[in-house]
Structure 1
């Protein structure tokens, strides 16, 4: 049996009951920590006074939990559109400031599908935005963590290598790689070993090949029938997210890879679909705890 030293987290929003009730449920299911959405909902930085931030921090501590990360995904194809990046960069910095104030050091985000052409305008816009965010995060001993999935691990590593700093790193989601790019999530750990600062514990299966832009969207790109593609992805024509341990992620090999690279951060459970997410999360916690023995 693999001895996994990682703490187990849960994305509070996966319970679909609001933040306060979600925190209680995270405690009930046996999680060590939580990830909370801060780009929308109750945790948007503009909505939280200094006093409110301290109240939330104290409440989370009182439950015996800690914040593994905040979700800072601002949507709109990430940082592909240079016209909106000034505002998005400012909001991202505010979310990171909030994370640090609450005792966390990671904000996870999507930056958009990294183009294959490094000379494209979209690539340049994404790179400039991430370079600024990386320097800012590094100055605070913190991280913006890009979620894996829209591109292969090798493509993402090449993009990150060009930033010059590691303030922008990786939130590793093995299921996204399985479901969308068809990339090997075990080998991807070794490829991105220098950048992984947080992970999502999720599982899935790939049913047919698709262009990642069909799933995540991309500036200036529209599928031939966008609505039908979106419906197909939701209904499981392209991929299907499944309970932990029931998909194509090779968990023993994946967790061993994390041990091999010395990763000791969170395995944060994410459940985006299903009619009974709480039951699935309970099973996921139990599944991950088996590897601690």
Structure 2
């Protein structure tokens, strides 16, 4: 795949960046996001200074004021609680409560989207893992819908068609989709362009990320599953850089196997008007990589 782009495809979507990708803390990350030309930011809100139990009262108002003062807005918060998502019924009550508090925080900060991973959706609908995930997502969907908000599941752990079949059982759009094309390319080998059309009714946020699958891999080993351990993505990147065999590699946008001409066109055709948010999980110079990704998207907006 090359970095050439379709100059006739004029996007109007805003550009977001994940503040945490800079690796310099929220305050400095916000400044860096403005510096590289982003319109908005996505921020992890699970632990540390962004934990809803820590960021309270005046701190929330101060953060929102800081973001607005920089001319930015929040595209979404990230509320990924890890630990196989919502597969383990014994810990779901606590996770659901924490997820709700993250969504409350999101709304106070000016966004109605919290992205998350729920765990790989099992093929077997009759088993306990599927039941645990379904019960949890039903509750989250009802809560989000009551606030005109969304929990957005990130694509990648399972093919788009299977994810849609799960979402269709929830009876609403409170649990929707954060579409990440690179995850699909790198892990399941699913076609992200077709995935956009398949999941069109649920996409509320997207990531701009690229990569390449180097060999077939079991998604359970990448995303984790009860009885499996999750891979270390940084270690995978180091393996690939050192010439060792890895299952996939994340690459700057335009250098991997995501067909961004077709991906962006599909998003436009389904009427998606939300954020294109850059995620960079590897690399020794994330600021330069993210700035390059902003320029990559700007070509599609006719800005450079």
TM-score past 0.5 threshold: yes
- In structure 2, what is the equivalent of residue 271 of structure 1? 280
- In structure 1, what is the equivalent of residue 22 of structure 2? 15
Report SS of the residue matched to 2:10.
coil
Instruction: Measure, in 2, the Cα distance between the counterparts of 1:57 and 1:17.
Output: 19
Q: Does 1:195 align with 2:199?
A: no
- In structure 1, what is the equivalent of residue 9 of structure 2? 2
- In structure 2, what is the equivalent of residue 39 of structure 1? 46
Instruction: Measure, in 1, the Cα distance between the counterparts of 2:56 and 2:99.
Output: 17
The Cα of 1:41 is off from its aligned counterpart by 2.4
With normalisation by structure 1, the TM-score equals 0.96
- In structure 2, what is the equivalent of residue 245 of structure 1? 254
The Cα of 1:40 is off from its aligned counterpart by 1.9
Instruction: Measure, in 1, the Cα distance between the counterparts of 2:57 and 2:212.
Output: 43
- In structure 2, what is the equivalent of residue 171 of structure 1? 178
Aligned residues, how many? Answer: 290
Report SS of the residue matched to 1:177.
helix
Deviates more, 1:168-177 or 1:234-243: 234-243
Instruction: Give the alignment partner of residue 104 of structure 1, picking from 107, 111, 118.
Output: 111
Report SS of the residue matched to 2:53.
helix
- In structure 2, what is the equivalent of residue 84 of structure 1? 91
- In structure 1, what is the equivalent of residue 299 of structure 2? 290
Asked if structure 2 preserves the Cα contact closer than 8 Å seen for 1:193 and 1:261, the reply is yes
Report SS of the residue matched to 1:46.
coil
Give a deviation string over 1:226-267, Cα, whole Å, max 9, x none: 889995576241000001110000001000000000000000
Report the CA distance shift for 1:230/1:123 in structure 2 as closer, same or farther (over 3 A). farther
The Cα of 1:220 is off from its aligned counterpart by 2.7
Report SS of the residue matched to 2:129.
helix
Q: Does 1:215 align with 2:222?
A: yes
Query: Cα RMSD between the aligned structures?
Result: 1.5
Report SS of the residue matched to 2:153.
strand
Asked if structure 2 preserves the Cα contact closer than 8 Å seen for 1:215 and 1:230, the reply is no
Instruction: Measure, in 2, the Cα distance between the counterparts of 1:111 and 1:227.
Output: 17
Instruction: Measure, in 2, the Cα distance between the counterparts of 1:106 and 1:256.
Output: 23
Instruction: Measure, in 2, the Cα distance between the counterparts of 1:18 and 1:56.
Output: 13
Asked if structure 1 preserves the Cα contact closer than 8 Å seen for 2:193 and 2:266, the reply is yes
Instruction: Measure, in 2, the Cα distance between the counterparts of 1:21 and 1:251.
Output: 30
Instruction: Measure, in 2, the Cα distance between the counterparts of 1:290 and 1:82.
Output: 46
- In structure 1, what is the equivalent of residue 100 of structure 2? 93
Asked if structure 2 preserves the Cα contact closer than 8 Å seen for 1:9 and 1:33, the reply is yes
With normalisation by structure 2, the TM-score equals 0.93
Instruction: Measure, in 1, the Cα distance between the counterparts of 2:228 and 2:63.
Output: 41
